[in-house]
Structure 1
Amino acid sequence: MVLQAIGLMSGTSLDGLDICFARFEKQEVWTFEILKAETISYPKNWEEKLRNSIHLSAEDLLEIHSEYGFYLGELVKNFIKKHQLENIDLIASHGHTVFHQPQRKFTLQIGDGRAIKIKTNLPVIYDFRTQDVLMGGNGAPLVPIGDEILFSQYEACLNLGGFSNISLKINNQRIAFDIAPVNIVLNKLVQKFNKSFDENGDLAKTGNINEGLLSKLNSLNFYQQSHPKSLGIEWCNENIFPLFEQTEMLDILATFTEHVSQQIANIINEYQLKNILFTGGGTYNTFLVEKIKAKTTAEIIIPHKEIIDYKEALIFAFMGILRLNNEINVLASATGSFADHSSGVMA
């Protein structure tokens, strides 16, 4: 069986839309090949719209849900035309997360899949998270199904994105959870320096660690909770940003980077991991990665750029393929829902 799909991923760090066109083949096991992939940066107006969407009224939120769906459809249409793509079986769209409160039984990823279908005239699968939340799960992380099937050669897979999350196998069960916020905080902090991200961690490197702030960050209740667990921007607004008010900006960057490295190293050491695949935009933050390496003996594997940048979009494309075949694409052991299931709304 050979199927080809486009995966769309818009991360919480708002650096743009990842589009990945991949071929998946199933013989004894599933294999994949990324055929074309690119990141399309958001123009300023869309970046601001998405960033402010959490503050919108119900009516305006419904409007942007449709509008963003048509915008995604337009971007995909252009991507298909540019690369002269053919034989596309489906588009799988993650959407852009506005709200994520699984304890209140809701999560919202805007970007109506029906609008994408209208623009592209291709089958679309979207809204992968809601069903899991309704089934008592966190609706996150979803990527572990891809780690389990496509990246099983690694003991663990760790994503350094807006949030850091990890997936690993314990007693033949794939578990996964969010570890700590990363770029969702760092990128917001460096806006003060008119930058969209801290390249190589160069700004953080110039600051000093504030031990009092570090202690407050490490004492946050989330880090004591057992998995499964997940984070959202609301949690950062409530628990992280208020701690920064009295501190010099470069010192905040240095301290928060140290905090993230400690939390990630704690997890690597707790599970005695021997090798871990690192992906996501934060992998380019060499200062952060070196700090993590210094705190653990595990082998940290940095793959080629295509996997660093597009692993999540690739796995959402794969989740779409599994959904098309009505196969399990969400693992209860990772999200905490009451059963494995096949999730995603078909347009």
Structure 2
Amino acid sequence: MSSFVGIGCMSGSSLDGLDVCCVEFTGDICSDLWGYRILNAETISYDEQWTERLRNAAMLSAAHFVKVNVDYGLFVGHSVARFITKHRLDHKVQFVASHGHSLFHNPHDGVAFQLGDGEVTATVLKVPFVTSFRSKDVCLGGQGAPLVPCGEKFLFRNSDICVNLGGIANIGVRGLVGYDICACNIMLNYLASKANAGMAFDKDGELARNGNVIPEVLLKLKTIAYYQDAAPKSLWRDYIESNIMPILDTDKYIVVDLLRTCTEHVASMVAKACLEAKNSLATALPGNAPTVLITGGGALNKFLMENIRQLIEVQGLVVQEVDEETINFKEALIFAFLGMRCLLGVENVFRETTGARKDSVSGSIHRPATCPALKNKSLLH
């Protein structure tokens, strides 16, 4: 058995901050048997300036874009360095891996870009830094997403179906099938800010609970073209802003009614995806009720979760209980795992999930400016 300690970083499309998670992984490199233990984790919130820079980065000129890419690389590096110092992890951490912040994702044109210059980040760290996990898969004809099912396959073996309710809701089925389901917190957080200036999100879904479903908006949401595509498939922010946000007309409709409608939409699409997953598992789990693990910021939205539970439990699915730390940091945890596998030289992105021509060892490795002896040198090979 081998043991590695790494840090994973995740910045989601909802722009709520940088999730940083230090994890110890224990397992057998040559098998599927891996376990994990979260040592420390926290979310480093973006201030107003960073929120605006990230929101507008895709519209910048080339020169200004490069500047933001460098600055965000430094932001990640300094954030992780402070996290390591704060939790006294300097002699434990062997590597850091970061998803980066997605700005461009259009796999049909061979494009996937996550903000944050890896070489710049590496200048702040004392251990190898791994980033840019999507580009290779996209070049191999894949979607470059979702990547989380790889970690689910190895680390969440007791869950048949994994759903993440982030800016975009996605699903993984036993680490073999995965895709983006629908827009989630991108819509809900946007509408919450419209309901109350300065409100980052609808706490517990209380605003949505007091609204009414708007049938014509619900119908428009259900009929967007993306839902007609077969998996593997992935959503991206540009598509959502072009095809979904115009439906959420806050001048025409009451905002709390739009929130209620979007909550209903997310719940129904998640339930539909879970039912399809259940049917695909029927032969593998004869007579057993499939288990569903739900994580991500949306899992803390009580009203949304009530709607999802009601719709999927009636279908014979069992929603697993999960601690809040896993809810909040599962994706950052998994990117640490993907970084570890990259450093070990074993596949961490699978064609079954992304639709690529083959599995790949994905991620770019950036060495620190000075490289002291590591606790376990096998990560260097």
Output the TM-score relative to the length of structure 1: 0.97
Larger radius of gyration: 2
Equivalent residue letter for 1:17: L
Alpha-carbon distance, 1:287 to partner: 0.6
* Structure 2 equivalent of residue 90 of structure 1: 95
| C-alpha separation in 2, matches of 1:3 and 1:56 | 39
Question: Please, which moves more after superposition, 334-343 or 264-273?
Answer: 264-273
Residue 26 of structure 1 corresponds to which residue in structure 2? 27
Supply the AA of the counterpart residue of 2:25. F
Hey, what does 2:276 align to over in structure 1?
270
Q: Secondary structure at the match of 1:159?
A: strand
1:104 and 1:60 map into 2 onto residues whose CA distance is: 23
Letter in 1 for 2:132: D
> Do structure 1's residue 334 and structure 2's residue 334 form an aligned pair?
no
Point out the more displaced range, 149-158 or 113-122: 113-122
Partner deviation per Cα, 1:22-77 (whole Å, 9 max, x = no partner): 11112462111111111111111111111111211121111111110011111111
- 3-state SS of paired residue (1:230): coil
Q: Say whether 1:174 aligns with 2:176.
A: yes
Aligned to 1:35: 39
CA distance in structure 2 between the aligned counterparts of 1:179 and 1:20, rounded to whole angstroms = 25
Q: State the distance in 1 between where 2:237 and 2:68 align.
A: 19
Q: 1:303-322 residue pairs with structure 2 within 5 A?
A: 303-322=322-341
Residues 277-304 of structure 1: per-residue CA shift (max 9 Å, x gap): 0010000111111111111221112410
SS in 1 for 2:114: strand
Instruction: Note if contact 1:11-1:162 (Cα within 8 Å) is conserved in structure 2.
Output: yes
Q: Relative to structure 2, which stretch is displaced further, 272-281 or 151-160?
A: 272-281
| CA-to-aligned-CA distance 1:58-111 (integer Å, 9 cap, x gap) | 211111111100111111111111111123211101100111111110011011
Partner of 1:9: 10
Could you say what secondary structure the match of 2:246 adopts?
Answer: helix
Match of 1:109 in 2: 114
Whether 1:285 aligns to 2:301 is: yes
> Is 1:118 the equivalent of 2:123?
yes
User: Is residue 302–residue 308 contact of structure 1 (8 Å, CA) maintained in 2?
Assistant: no
Pick the aligned partner of 1:258 from 254, 257, 264: 264
Task: Determine which of 199, 223, 230 is the counterpart of 2:227.
Answer: 223
Alpha-carbon distance in 1 for matches of 2:213, 2:68: 40
Residue 312 of structure 1 aligns to a residue in which SS?
helix
CA distance, structure 2, for counterparts of residue 250 and residue 30 of structure 1: 44
Whole-Å separation in 2 of the counterparts to 1:50 and 1:316: 20
1:226-255, CA deviations, whole angstroms, 9 ceiling, x for partnerless residues?
Answer: 100100111111111111222221111111
Tell me the amino acid that sits aligned with residue 223 of structure 1: Y
Paired with 1:90 and 1:232, the residues of 2 have a C-alpha distance of: 29
C-alpha separation between the residues in 1 aligned to 2:258 and 2:327? 27
Q: For 2:124, what is the secondary structure of its paired residue?
A: helix
Unpaired runs of at least 5, structure 2: 279-288, 367-381
> Which amino acid counterpart does residue 302 of structure 2 have in structure 1?
T
Aligned partner of residue 176 in structure 2, secondary structure: strand
Equivalent residues in 2 for 1:127-166, closer than 5 Å: 127-166=132-171
Instruction: Tell me which residue corresponds to 2:201.
Output: 197
- Contact 2:161/2:274 (CA < 8 Å) preserved in 1? no
Letter of the aligned partner of 2:342 in structure 1?
A: R
Equivalent residues of 2:233, 2:354 under 8 A apart: yes
SS in 2 for 1:94: strand
Code of the residue aligned with 1:280 in structure 2: it is G
- Separation of aligned partners in 2, 1:87 and 1:243: 49
Amino acid at match of 2:293: L
- Give the CA RMSD over aligned residues: 1.2
Residue identity matched to 2:111: F
Q: What is the match of residue 378 of structure 2?
A: none
Partner in structure 2 of residue 248 of structure 1: 254
Give the counterpart letter for 2:320 in structure 1: I
Q: Match for 1:65: what amino acid?
A: N
- Letter of the structure 1 residue corresponding to residue 296 of structure 2: G
Q: CA deviation at 1:265?
A: 0.7
Moved runs in structure 1, 4+ residues, more than 6 A? Answer: none
Shift, 1:274, TM fit: 2.2
Aligned-partner Cα distance in 1 for 2:93–2:120: 17
**DSSP 3-state at the match of 2:227:** helix
Kindly provide the CA deviation profile for residues 194-216 of structure 1, in whole angstroms up to 9, marking residues without a partner as x.
21001111111111101011111
